[in-house]
Amino acid sequence: MLLVSLLFAALVAALPYDILVPPSAADKVDVSIRNITAIGTGCPKGHSVVNLNPSGTVFDVGFDSFVVSVGPGSATSDSRKNCRMSLNLAFTSGYQ
């Protein structure tokens, strides 16, 4: 859950100011998520579930194999896991 919260915070921080400020009715900007993919050593294919609401504005991700371990008997690769999430966005023409 912390990872998803951090990802969301990073996504909001990366958005241009004019998307964060509510537009007037004349300058309405529509942004939605078309799809989301997650892949990495912490979320191998088939081991993460992405739920996207019908309007494409809210999502959550669940992981069933994101396990990290350290200490005696743990391999170095067990202490470093990652999960890269890609969002395909749709937005009003003229914005990028």
Written as six digits, the tokens of 49 are 């579930």
Q: Return the pLDDT at 26.
A: 55
Measure the CA–CA gap between 62 and 51, rounded to whole angstroms: 8
Residue 84 pLDDT > 60: yes
b (16+ CB within 10 A) / e for 72-86:
eeeeeeeeebebebe
Per-chain mean pLDDT for the chain: 78
Burial class (CB in 10 A: 0-12, 13-18, 19+), 19: middle
Q: Quick one: pLDDT band at residue 67, thresholds 50, 70, 90? A: confident
Q: Quick one: pLDDT band at residue 7, thresholds 50, 70, 90? A: low
Written as six digits, the tokens of 51 are 């739920």
Residue 16 pLDDT > 70: no
Q: Return the pLDDT at 20.
A: 53
Percentage of the chain exceeding pLDDT 90: 4
